[in-house]
Amino acid sequence: MNNKNGKYLTTGEFAKLCKVNKQTLFYYDQIGLLSPILKDEKGYRFYSIRQLELFIVIGLLKDFGMSLNDIQQYMQNKSPESFLTLMYQKKEEIVKKRQEIETKEKIIEAKIELMEEASRLDFHQVRLERLPEAKLYLSRNIENISDDEFVEVVSDFVDELYVSQLDTGYPIGGITKREQVLKGEFTNYSYLYIEQPNPKEGYPYFQTVKGYFLIGYHIGDEQTIHKTYKRLFSEMERLNLALGDYVFEEYIYNTIVKNHKEHYVTKIMIHVDQIES
């Protein structure tokens, strides 16, 4: 059908143009969201090419997560001002989603890098390595707390990482002070931590000392970790090294990649000083 302003489109033609089936257009008409511009005496429906943009905007709003009911509410009170407000609002939502996706991408990249690095490690090797300064985001102090309190701290810490977007994909580790290590309290951690390769402004960070660390790996759960510490202390003695201020522990393999705790792998990094002879 033609008119002086251009060709009208049948329901089938308009549906094809919109890349939907005719039932979608029937439903939109039924709920008053997008109705044909003309219905003739035989009941045939006709659309205008100018309605295509309205259909596109409806699809856009649906992609933004708006329900058909919310879109209806907008359509009933539409105006240039309300449309502009709606577009600004949706733009802000897109920016936020993009930031969230970029953050998740960085987390995934970090986990890939760490797992590929782990696949090249010899977990039976002990090495002395000079490490640069690193910035860590810490939990609250957890020395000598009960199991229930520990669970609460872990939960709060994970929530902080999520809310403040401080999850970098690096493992959550534990810091043990020198005095605890000397007493054999290897799992009496002082803080939980997560490394921040690109620290965000406005947050307090713990800056590790740069220097030498004796690095070894414990295979198994924490119940037998004292045996690995004994082996590392023997190596320290052989190399004429003294225990420094802190020990850092973090999982290399845990429940994410291993089903049995006897196959877990923990990286132990002991800050050391050279003993002057």
150: domain CATH number?
Answer: 3.20.80.10
Q: Residue 3: inside a domain, yes or no?
A: no
* Contact of 179 with 243, CB cutoff 8 Å: no
Q: Give the pLDDT confidence of 161-204 residue by residue, as tens digits.
A: 999 999 999 999 999 999 999 999 999 999 999 999 999 999 99
Instruction: Inform me whether the pLDDT recorded for 20 exceeds 70.
Output: yes
Pair 142, 167 in one domain: yes
**Cα-based torsion angle of the residue sequence 158, 134, 171, 234 in order, rounded to the nearest 10 degrees:** -130
Q: How far is CA 257 from the centre of its chain?
A: 18
Number of domains in the chain: 3
- What does the pLDDT read at residue 5? 47
Instruction: Inform me whether the pLDDT recorded for 63 exceeds 80.
Output: yes
- d(C-alpha 163, C-alpha 88), whole Å: 24
E runs forming strands in the chain: 2-3, 6-10, 38-39, 45-48, 127-131, 135-138, 173-177, 191-195, 206-207, 211-219, 241-253, 265-274
- Six-digit token string for 70: 């919310």
| Main-chain phi, psi angles of 169, to 5 degrees | 90, -10
Pair 208, 254 in one domain: yes
Closest by alpha carbon to 35, among 6, 76, 4? 76
Domain assignment of residue 170, given as a range: 123-274
- d(C-alpha 162, C-alpha 211), whole Å: 31
Pair 198, 270 in one domain: yes
Whole-model pTM: value is 0.76
Pair 22, 105 in one domain: no
- What does the pLDDT read at residue 4? 42
